[in-house]
Amino acid sequence: MEATLGLWLTILAAGVATFLIRLSFIAVHGRVIMPDWFNRALTFVPVTVLSAIIVPELVMTDGVVNFSPLNARLIAGIAAILVAWHTKNVMVTIVVGMLLLWGMQYFFG
């Protein structure tokens, strides 16, 4: 992939957008009170956006749903979900997930 002008401008625009969000209330200190539903909606953002991106990556192979027990990413992903649930530890989750993926790729790949 090339670092095209378009890509640079996209990163710049994303950076400016993020900066303006952070500057918003600091710059215009008007004590604006956010509606309650908006604050609550924000708490759902990380969970939903990440899930909408992760799940297709685990369940689909080349754009097609693949529930095969030989789908290494699906099995390693499910195991990682269980590990994350029990340990709540980021590094343990990543290590177990990677080891399972490598193991399955080695034996079935």
Partner 1 sequence: METPQSEFFGGVRAELPLMVGVVPFGFIFGAVAVQLGLPASITQAMSSVIFGGSSQFLAAPLIAAGTPGALLVLTVLIVNLRHALYSASIAPYLEKLSPLWKGVLAYLLTDEAYAVTIAHFQQKGDAKHRHWFMLGAGVTLWTMWQLSTAVGIFVGAQLPPEWSLDFMLPLTFIAIVVPVLKHRAYVIAALVAGAGGVIAYGLPYRLGYLVAALAAIALGLALEERWKRR
Q: Footprint of partner 1 on this chain (CB under 8 A)?
A: 1-3, 6-15, 17-19, 21-27, 29, 32, 34, 37, 39-42, 44-60, 63, 65, 73, 76-77, 80-81, 84-85, 88-91, 93-94, 97-98, 101-102, 105
Pick the closer one to partner 1 by CB: 9 or 70. Answer: 9
Q: Minimum Å distance from CB 98 to partner 1?
A: 7
67: enclosing H helix or E strand: none
Whole-number Å distance between alpha carbons of 11 and 86: 36
Geometric angle at alpha carbon 38, from 32 and 44, rounded to 5°: 140
Looking at the chain, how many residues does it have? 109
Contact 47, 67 (CB under 8 A): no
C-beta of 69 vs 94, nearer to partner 1:
94
Rounded to whole angstroms, what are the CA distances from 69 to 12, 22, 84, 97? Answer: 42, 45, 21, 15
Query: Least CB distance from residue 9 to partner 1, whole Å?
Result: 7
The CB-of-54 to partner 1 minimum distance in angstroms stands at: 5
Shortest Å, Cβ 6 to partner 1: 6
